[in-house]
């Protein structure tokens, strides 16, 4: 339905362009969004939702006693394989879109091994950023108890990552773009890998070296920040048997 909506929009636009994204470039962006979200929802979301229950029932005690890193164990206890259907759909859409871009007479795209490797690398960076945000919100369950409102907040925040950063401009949009790029860096989750694979030959819309480097720094910062929040939260945990 999401794809059909954008197909309808592009059919009504003569230039078949939204902001700086041509039709199949934008479809590659959508495909990247599906891939990232499907991985997060399959591997991390079920465990983040379960974390508050572990605290309420006292089962977190058993996780703490096991000879394995607690954050790793809690993050990967359950997997929702059905969510990976969007991963397959995203992969198919991505391959189709790149195929259409390869025959574009203005900017024919050639997907080299280096380009593919960079795409996968920054895709993993985006997944790591989303994972970090989820772990940080889940860890607050120790302080706040049930935090369903915070999970709703996570969905609202991550909605910003589903659109190209160019749409956030003007008086109100520019501050949002800055905040969700440099403070809570959800805008780089999809924008960076999608630009790398869909717009590598267009200097006027390329991400620039600075944003690619910042994406790496932001990933490292998010992982370290979420680790710090998680360990600090565990220090405040009171065992159910105490």
> Using 50, 70 and 90 to split pLDDT, how confident is the model at 17?
low
Residue 190 has pLDDT above 50, yes or no: yes
Domain contains 1: no
| Amino acid 51: pLDDT | 83
Domain housing 123: 19-235
Residue 14 resides in a domain: no
Q: DSSP string of 111-168? A: --HHHHHHHHHHHHHHHHHHHHHHHHHHHTHHHHS--HHHHHHHHHHHGGGGS-GGGS
Burial class of residue 181 (count of CB atoms within 10 Å of its CB; 0-12, 13-18, 19+): buried
Q: Is the pTM of this model over 0.85?
A: yes
Whether 46 maps to a domain, the answer reads yes
Instruction: Name the percent of the chain lying above pLDDT 70.
Output: 85
The answer to whether residue 5 is domain-embedded is no
CA-CA-CA-CA torsion sign (92, 90, 125, 44): negative
Compute the chain's Rg from CA coordinates. Answer: 20
Give the H or E element holding residue 44: none
Number of folded domains that form the chain: 1
């Amino acid at each position: 339905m999401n794809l059909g909506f954008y197909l309808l929009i592009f059919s009504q636009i003569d230039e078949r362009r939204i902001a700086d994204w041509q039709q199949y470039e934008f479809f590659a962006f959508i495909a990247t969004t599906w891939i990232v979200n499907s991985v997060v929802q399959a591997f991390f979301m079920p465990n983040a939702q379960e974390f508050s229950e572990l605290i309420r029932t006292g089962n977190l005690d058993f996780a703490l006693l096991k000879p394995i890193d607690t954050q790793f164990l809690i993050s990967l206890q359950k997997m929702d394989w059905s969510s990976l259907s969007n991963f397959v759909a995203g992969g198919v859409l991505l391959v189709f879109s790149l195929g259409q871009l390869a025959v574009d007479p203005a900017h024919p795209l050639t997907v080299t091994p280096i380009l593919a490797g960079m795409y996968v690398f920054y895709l993993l960076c985006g997944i790591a950023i989303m994972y970090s945000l989820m772990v940080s919100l889940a860890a607050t369950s120790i302080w706040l108890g049930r935090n369903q409102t915070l999970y709703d907040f996570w969905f609202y925040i991550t909605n910003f990552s589903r659109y190209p950063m160019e749409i956030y401009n003007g008086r109100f949009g520019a501050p949002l773009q800055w905040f969700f790029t440099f403070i809570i860096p959800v805008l780089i989750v999809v924008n960076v890998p999608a630009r790398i694979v869909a717009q590598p030959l267009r200097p006027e819309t390329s991400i620039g070296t600075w944003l690619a480097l910042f994406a790496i720094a932001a990933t490292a910062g998010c992982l370290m920040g979420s680790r710090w929040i998680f360990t600090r939260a565990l220090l405040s945990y009171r065992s159910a048997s105490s």
